[in-house]
Structure 1
Amino acid sequence: MSGTNSKMSVWELMILTAVNMIGAGIILLPASLAEVGGISVLSWGITTFCSTCLAYAFAKCGMYSTRPGGMSGYAEYIFGTAGNFLCCYVYTVSILVSNVAIALSAVGYGATCLDISLGAVPTCLYTIAVIWLTTVPNFSGAGITGRIGGITIFGVLIPVFIIATAGWFFFSPSLYIANWNVQHLPFSQGIQQSVVMTLWAFLGLESACVNADAVENPERNVPIAVLGGTLGSAIIYILSTNVIFGMLPAADVAQSNAPFGLVFAYMFGPVAGKVVMALMCIACLGSLLGWQFTGGNIYRAAAAKGFYPSLLARVNRFGAPVTGMVIAGIIQTGLSLMTISPSLNEQFEALTNLAVITNVIPYFFCMAAMEFIMIKAGHGRREELRLPMIASFMGSLYTMYACYAAGADAMMAAALVFFFGLTLYGFLAPSFEK
Structure 2
Amino acid sequence: MDASSHESADDQNIRHPRPTSTSSETEPLLARRPSNLSQASSLPKQLTTRHAFAILITLQIGSGVFASPAQIDSNVPSPGASLLVWALGGLLSWAGAASFAELGAAIPINGGMQEYLRYVYGDTMAFMMAWVYIMATKPSAMAIQSIVIAESIGSIVSFTSSGADTTLLRLVAALALIFIVILNSLNTKFTMRLSESFTGIKITTVFLVVLGGLVAVVAYLVNPKSSLSGSDDWHERNWFDTRPTVSNATPVDWFGMGTWERYGHFATAIYGGLWAFDGWDNANLVASEIRDPGKALPKAIKCAMVVVLSSYELVNVSYYILLPWDIISSDNAVAVTAAARVFGQWAGISITILIALSCCGSITGNVFTIGRLIIAASQRNYLPSFLGTRGIPAFTSRYEGEAQPAITAATEPPANPKSKLRSRIDAPIYANALALIVTLVYVFFGELRALLTFTGMASWIFYVSTVLGLLVLRRREPQLHRPYKPTVLLPIMFVVVGILVIARTAIFAPVQSVLLAFLLVAGAAISKIRSR
TM-score using structure 1 length: 0.89
Q: CA deviation at 1:62?
A: 0.5
Amino acid at match of 2:103: C
Superposed CA RMSD: 2.6
Q: Aligned AA for 2:150?
A: V
2:57 maps to 1:9: no
Q: Relative to 1, partners in 2 of residues 1:364 and 1:34: Cα closer, same or farther, differing over 3 Å?
A: closer
Q: Which residue is equivalent to 1:282? A: 357
CA contact (8 A) 2:450 2:512 kept: no
Shift in CA distance, 415/213, structure 1 to aligned 2, threshold 3 Å: farther
Taking structure 1 as reference, are residues 24 and 376 closer, same or farther at Cα in structure 2, changes over 3 Å only? farther
Q: Which residue of the partner structure matches residue 58 of structure 1? A: 100
Q: 1:363 aligns with which of 448, 456, 463?
A: 463
Higher gyration radius (CA): 2
CA contact (8 A) 1:17 1:229 kept: yes
- Which residue number in structure 2 is paired with residue 163 of structure 1? 209
1:121 aligns with: 167
Aligned mates of 2:194, 2:487 — CA distance in 1: 34
Report matched runs for 1:94-109 at 5 Å: 94-109=137-152
What residue number does 2:155 align with?
A: 112
Offset at residue 156 of structure 1 (A): 2.9
Structure 1 spans left out of the alignment, 5+ residues? 340-346
Residue aligned with 2:269, SS: helix
Taking a change above 3 Å as real, the CA distance of residues 283 and 190 of structure 1, as seen in their structure-2 partners, is: same
Preserved CA contact (<8 Å) 2:138 2:370:
yes
Tell me whether 1:336 sits opposite 2:443 in the alignment: yes
Deviations 1:10-43 (A, max 9, x none): 1121111111011142231233334235222221
Partner SS for 1:211: helix
Check the 8 A contact 2:110/2:373 in 1, yes or no: no
Residues 311/179 of structure 1: CA separation in 2 closer, same or farther (3 Å cut): farther
Q: Which residue of 1 aligns with 2:434?
A: 327
- Tell me the distance in 2 between the aligned counterparts of 1:132 and 1:23: 18
Deviations along 1:174-203, whole A, 9 cap, x unmatched?
257398643353775552231110010111
1:378 aligns with one of 479, 487, 490: 479
Aligned to 1:29: 68
Choose the corresponding residue for 1:404, options 469, 481, 503. Answer: 503
Distance 1:258 1:133 in 2: 25
Q: 2:269 aligns with which of 194, 198, 213?
A: 194
Rounded to whole Å, the distance in 1 between the matches of 2:202 and 2:238 is 23
Aligned residue pairs, count: 421
Partner residue in 1 for 2:522 = 423
Which has a greater percent of helix? 1
1:243: how far off? Answer: 2.0
Question: What is the percent sequence identity of the aligned residues?
Answer: 18
1:107-145 deviations in whole A, cap 9, x for unaligned?
112212333324211111111112212211111222222
Distance 2:266 2:53 in 1: 29
Between the aligned partners of 2:44 and 2:481, the Cα distance in structure 1 is 33
1:120-269 equivalence runs, <5 A? 120-171=166-217, 172-174=234-236, 177=239, 181-183=243-245, 185=254, 188=263, 190-269=265-344
Q: Distance in 2 between matches of 1:168 and 1:175?
A: 18
Distance (whole Å) between structure 2 residues aligned to residue 61 and residue 415 of structure 1: 31
- Larger relative contact order (C-alpha < 8 A, sep ≥ 6)? 1
Question: Counterpart of 1:432?
Answer: 531
CA contact (8 A) 1:62 1:212 kept: yes
TM-superposition CA deviations, 1:338-384 (whole Å, max 9, x none): 22xxxxxxx21111111101111211221122145456472589xx9
Indicate the residue corresponding to 2:450 in structure 1.
350
